[in-house]
């Protein structure tokens, strides 16, 4: 991760600590750096304070899956599907549904 990018994002956060895009960008940067604690912190802040920020749910779910927290991932995907459907974001809905199906073991193929 670019430390310059992180520094800039933290400056943006200081100027506007409740901006969901900045929170999401920080979560994504920390996730890419494998700083799971900070990534979780920002993703969870988004789910609590900006429930309609759809992108959060897919990436948080994938982070849970990476940590073998499959039940948490499934719950996050389900919540994200509700949010995506409410916002009529069918692209996000289909991505979340595919992730949910995989995590839940429903992505089998007929032989």
- Domain range summary for the chain, segments of one domain joined by +: 3-103
Helix axes 70-86, 90-103, angle to 10 degrees: 160
54 closest CA partner among 25, 96, 13, 19: 96
**Given 1.25.40.10, 2.40.30.30, 1.10.3720.10, 3.40.50.2000, which CATH number is that of 3-103?**
1.25.40.10
Give 11-24 pLDDT, tens digit per residue: 999 999 999 999 99
CB 54, CB 83: distance < 8 Å? yes
Structure pTM? Answer: 0.90
Residue range 1-52, pLDDT digits in tens: 467 889 999 999 999 999 999 999 999 999 999 999 999 999 999 999 999 9
């Amino acid at each position: 991760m670019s430390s310059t990018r992180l520094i800039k994002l933290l400056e943006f956060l200081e100027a506007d600590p409740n901006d969901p895009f900045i929170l999401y960008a920080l979560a994504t940067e920390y996730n890419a750096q494998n700083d799971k604690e900070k990534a979780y912190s920002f993703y969870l802040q988004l789910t609590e304070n900006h429930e309609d920020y759809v992108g959060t749910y897919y990436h948080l779910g994938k982070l849970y899956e990476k940590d073998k927290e499959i039940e948490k991932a499934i719950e996050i995907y389900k919540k994200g599907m509700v949010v995506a459907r409410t916002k009529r974001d069918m692209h996000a809905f289909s991505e979340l549904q595919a992730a949910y199906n995989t995590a839940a073991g429903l992505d089998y193929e007929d032989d």
